[in-house]
Amino acid sequence: MSSPNPSQVPQPPAPPAQQSPAMRNGLGTAGFVLGLVGAVFALIPIVGVIAWPLVILGLIFGILGFLRVRKGQASNRGLAIAGIALSAIGLLICIAWVSVLGKAASDLHEEANRAVTVRYEVTGDASDVTVTYSTFGDENSTTNQEQVTSLPWQKELQTKGLVKGGSLTVTAGPEGGEVTCAVVVDGQEAKTSTASGPFATASCDNFGN
pLDDT tens digits, one per residue of 125-177:
998 899 998 877 655 677 889 999 989 999 888 877 666 678 899 999 998 89
Indicate whether 3 belongs to any domain: no
Same-domain check for residues 164 and 176: yes
Indicate whether 6 belongs to any domain: no
> End of a domain among 62, 85, 111?
111
CA dihedral angle for residue 80, residue 86, residue 90, residue 91, rounded to 10 degrees: 40
What percentage of the chain carries pLDDT values higher than 70?
A: 82
Domain count, the chain: 2
Indicate whether 11 belongs to any domain: no
Indicate whether 8 belongs to any domain: no
Higher pLDDT, 76 or 4: 76
Same-domain check for residues 149 and 68: no
Which run of H or of E encompasses 18?
A: none
Same-domain check for residues 27 and 102: yes
Indicate whether 50 belongs to any domain: yes
Same-domain check for residues 178 and 98: no
Question: What strand order describes the sheet that includes 201-208?
Answer: 142-148, 129-136, 165-171, 201-208
Give the three-class secondary structure for 105.
helix
Where would I find the H helices in 12-159? 26-42, 51-70, 77-112
> End of a domain among 57, 80, 111?
111
d(CA 81, CA 85): 6
CATH number at residue 161: 2.60.60
Same-domain check for residues 125 and 159: yes
169 CB-near residues (< 8 Å, 6+ apart): 131, 132, 133, 181, 201, 202, 203, 204, 205
Tell me what pLDDT residue 56 has: 92
Is the predicted pLDDT of residue 46 greater than 70, yes or no? yes
58 CB-near residues (< 8 Å, 6+ apart): 30, 31, 32, 33, 34, 35, 36, 37, 38, 83, 86, 87, 90
Domain that holds residue 144: 115-208
Indicate whether 71 belongs to any domain: yes
Indicate whether 44 belongs to any domain: yes
200 CB-near residues (< 8 Å, 6+ apart): 126, 171, 172, 176, 178, 179
Question: What does the longest C-alpha to C-alpha distance in the chain come to?
Answer: 147
Same-domain check for residues 60 and 121: no
Same-domain check for residues 137 and 202: yes
Is the predicted pLDDT of residue 54 greater than 60, yes or no? yes
99 CB-near residues (< 8 Å, 6+ apart): none
Same-domain check for residues 134 and 82: no
Same-domain check for residues 106 and 125: no
Tell me what pLDDT residue 105 has: 85
Sign of the alpha-carbon torsion through 173, 178, 184, 190: positive
Same-domain check for residues 35 and 94: yes
> End of a domain among 52, 79, 111?
111
